Structure 1
Amino acid sequence: MAAADATSGQLDSSTLLKLICAGFSFFVAGVNDGSIGALIPHVIRYYGITTAIVTGLYGASFFGWFFAAVTNTHLSQRLGLGAMLAIGAFLQLAAQALRAWPVPPFGLYVFTFWLTCLGQAYQDAHANTFVASRQGSTAVHRWLGFIHAMYMAGCLAGPFAASSIASSGTGSNWWLFYTVPLALGVVNLGLVVAAFRDSITVLKPDTGAQQAEAGMSASALVNATLKEKSVWLLSLFFFFYLGVVVTASGWVVEYLVSVRNGNLTQMGYIPAGFSGGALLGRILLPEPTHSWGERRMVFLYCIFCLVFQLVFWLVPSIIAASVAISFLGFFSGPFFATAISVGTKLFPPEINSTAISFVFVFAQIGGSLFPTVTGVLGARIGLSVVQPMLIGLICAMGISWLLVPQPQIKGE
């Protein structure tokens, strides 16, 4: 029996477990990423550092994703899908174990971000590719919507857990939060082993999954991917998109505390508004986006994002800021799954897996670079720089989306 019926959407238990595992891996990544904004003010005050120094966290994240981009294709031709997912889950688990002990040295704390992002890159990119490669466009856009909604569910849960734990007592026990992602990491690794045990293998040099499919070496696959114009154009959109998401969610708490004089114990929950909005967007918007046209709808959502970001900037009210950033999350919610779905239609089949992994990693590079730049500029001229930075990124995101080619519908 086929693993799934492309037209009916019926799944056997093995495929369903794998899809649930993929979704849970995104939830784990979301809990980690969503907690950063709530913890940064505590990290700054506990270690006595500036916003420029704390951007070392984003710099370490950048190098984690960059290292993954360099090594991913070569490793995936030597290791099965399950092995790549297991390595990614283990690296994240190891990072959380290093964090979950009384006040790790700042240098070690920074290193764990490299380790976490390396693990996320391997696991999320291959889980994303697994879901995106399913046959049947309807199933693809719905399941992509599911796994990316799970990421935002994690981002929603992260700030609540981080703020409640970090704000308890004197606030010096913020590191206790990491026992939460540590426990989730154990479950994550266990799920991968259970769901993908059939592909936790070491492949022969001439039988790698991608090489067997395309008859190409890892270097040839990378070269073919880098020559594909649509890969670079879609990557550019993701580069700016994740720059918006991580900059907004990562710096909003410190911005509201230092610029608008908000109460730290209360402002730590604001990123949950962004994540909650994005979660609803990823649940409610995929169907109208798919039905009314991805190109038209995503650009319209970009305009809405710009409007609400201007409200956040120009209306000097913390309540207005909370509402505006929630709507920013809502309208940007379906971007990731929609753009990945478009990519599967644009990329040649022989480079599809490598191209999606490259785009996914390139997105995370943007999500590391722009928050770093924001923090460095914030240390010099103040965190008011967050607002014009986000306006510029949203505009660049909308323009870059218009540059992405429109996929031809097969059979027309």
Structure 2
Amino acid sequence: MYSFIVLGLFQSSVGVMLQPLSQHYSLGDLHVSLIFIVGPLGYVIAAQSSDLIHCTWGQKGIAIFAPTLHILGALVIAAHPPFGIVLVAFAAVALGAGLLDGSWCAWAASGSNANTVSGLLQGSFSVGAAAGPFLAGTILPAWNRPWYDWYYFLVKLCVLFLAFRHENASKYRDEKHTEAVSTRRKINPRAMFKYVATWLIALYFLAYVGTETAISGWIVSFMTRHRNATPYVASMASSGFWGGMAVGRFTLGVVTDKLGVGGANIIYFLITIAFQVVFAFVQVPIASIVFMTLIGFFMGPMFASGIVILTRLLPAELHVAAVSFTASAGQVGAAFLPFGIGAFIQGMGIGVFRFAVVILSILALLAWVPVSRQRPAISSPSYEDHDEEGDSDPLLQ
């Protein structure tokens, strides 16, 4: 939960930093949006390496590598080198985030009370995300500190090692690869691609995470440039979004368990879209903060719901690889959707933001519907000797 608070601080503060970065490096909206593009590079590398790290060093390896990447990335950004180097540092931060995201999400969703535990984990992310805009957008200016001092604040110790010091590779293999150990067959992580559910949830995460990041990344600029809000009010709109999301993730997990993941998420989407439409036409800045908070509240469980369904549909030995892959697909959406909005903003004005998020949310809802109808497969094609010709594809959903 601590590590996810730090992830939230990193991600949510990007929106606050867009304008200072633009001014410091003399960049336009399109060029500064490259920050959203480099994130998926780190997540893609994380998706390819996470299973290897688990099998070689166990969860302890993730607990060491990921915070180290955050420390190095934050130090480089804080040194405010040329913008190209800053982009590389943001990619390193994203690599660390990808390792943590896929690993701990799979861990949380695989146990009992998965919706509640995943909600606690994702809620911790939202706590950090709610604090980020307030601290970066309010405290730094009040203390008359430059934007890059924020990244000195984000440098942290590798305390995750203390929590996972006993989680070595042999323990991980014993817990997750029980069938492989007993039959002496080598698990093939690529088997996750044979499940239709993997691709459907990857598409859903691409749409949902892109929508979430677009809101977080552009809300501060929208409030200051279109609704003439003060920097304080604009940052509070972003904090309200993430604060509402934190409360939703902490509290709606119980509701999701009672209603069922598939149906509950559809209800959350419909309510969210309704509030987004109201937000688009309400011009009062304080009311905008209230509606942003409500939007965040009902979007809260949406990511955890996808992880929970994924771990129910795929065998345990594929969880880390599959969650890492789908999370990286989400980061592709987190890159290109906000970047695309940035391109529209440059050509049509910042006002287009309010309508774009409604369209993106509708697309995410449409992507969720087929996910909610998936059922677990009756067999597990997760070993190399299942890859031979003649395997029965009807076993896969």
Name the TM tier (shorter chain): 0.7 to 0.9
Percent identity, aligned pairs only, is: 26
Paired with 2:18 and 2:140, the residues of 1 have a C-alpha distance of: 10
Can you list the C-alpha shifts for 1:334-359, whole angstroms capped at 9, x where unaligned? 11222211222111334233212222
Q: Is the 8 A contact 2:223 2:285 kept in 1?
A: yes
Q: Is the 8 A contact 1:311 1:320 kept in 2?
A: no
Deviation at 1:388, TM superposition (A): 2.5
1:258–1:130: structure 2 CA closer, same or farther, 3 Å change rule? same
What amino acid does structure 1 have at the position aligned with 2:148? W
> Aligned residue for 1:146?
120
> Aligned residue for 1:388?
355
> Aligned residue for 1:109?
86
Taking the TM superposition and a 5 Å limit, the aligned residue runs for 1:260-299 are 260-299=227-266
2:328 is aligned with 1:369: no
1:167–1:265: structure 2 CA closer, same or farther, 3 Å change rule? farther
The alignment partner of 2:227 has SS state of: coil
Paired with 1:277 and 1:96, the residues of 2 have a C-alpha distance of: 27
> Aligned residue for 1:133?
110
Deviation at 1:129, TM superposition (A): 1.7
Deviation at 1:375, TM superposition (A): 1.3
Paired with 1:375 and 1:141, the residues of 2 have a C-alpha distance of: 34
Q: Is the 8 A contact 1:76 1:208 kept in 2?
A: no
2:154 is aligned with 1:181: yes
2:135 is aligned with 1:161: yes
Instruction: Structure 2: state its 5+ residue gaps.
Output: 378-397
Paired with 1:369 and 1:208, the residues of 2 have a C-alpha distance of: 39
Can you list the C-alpha shifts for 1:41-64, whole angstroms capped at 9, x where unaligned? 222223221110111111111221
Paired with 1:405 and 1:381, the residues of 2 have a C-alpha distance of: 36
1:271–1:213: structure 2 CA closer, same or farther, 3 Å change rule? farther
> Aligned residue for 2:383?
none
2:99 is aligned with 1:122: yes
2:292 is aligned with 1:318: no
Paired with 2:230 and 2:91, the residues of 1 have a C-alpha distance of: 31
Deviation at 1:377, TM superposition (A): 2.2
2:295 is aligned with 1:334: no
1:213–1:80: structure 2 CA closer, same or farther, 3 Å change rule? farther
Instruction: Structure 1: state its 5+ residue gaps.
Output: 1-22
Deviation at 1:209, TM superposition (A): 7.7
What amino acid does structure 1 have at the position aligned with 2:243? G
Deviation at 1:115, TM superposition (A): 0.6
Calculate the TM-score normalised by the size of structure 1. 0.84
> Aligned residue for 1:57?
35
Can you list the C-alpha shifts for 1:46-93, whole angstroms capped at 9, x where unaligned? 322111011111111122112222333344333322112311111011
Calculate the TM-score normalised by the size of structure 2. 0.87
Deviation at 1:99, TM superposition (A): 2.3
Deviation at 1:217, TM superposition (A): 5.0
What amino acid does structure 2 have at the position aligned with 1:53? H
Can you list the C-alpha shifts for 1:236-276, whole angstroms capped at 9, x where unaligned? 11111111111001100111122222223431222000011
What amino acid does structure 1 have at the position aligned with 2:353? V
Q: Is the 8 A contact 2:205 2:326 kept in 1?
A: yes
Q: Is the 8 A contact 1:82 1:196 kept in 2?
A: yes
Can you list the C-alpha shifts for 1:289-333, whole angstroms capped at 9, x where unaligned? 110122111101101111111111122222222111111100000
For these two proteins, the number of residue pairs brought into alignment is 373
Q: Is the 8 A contact 1:148 1:337 kept in 2?
A: yes
What amino acid does structure 2 have at the position aligned with 1:279? A
Paired with 2:178 and 2:89, the residues of 1 have a C-alpha distance of: 35
What amino acid does structure 2 have at the position aligned with 1:166? L
Paired with 1:381 and 1:216, the residues of 2 have a C-alpha distance of: 57
Paired with 1:62 and 1:360, the residues of 2 have a C-alpha distance of: 9
1:355 pairs with 315, 318, 322, which one? Answer: 322
The alignment partner of 1:342 has SS state of: helix
2:207 is aligned with 1:240: yes
Paired with 2:185 and 2:210, the residues of 1 have a C-alpha distance of: 33
Paired with 2:103 and 2:293, the residues of 1 have a C-alpha distance of: 29
Paired with 1:233 and 1:409, the residues of 2 have a C-alpha distance of: 14
1:166–1:233: structure 2 CA closer, same or farther, 3 Å change rule? same
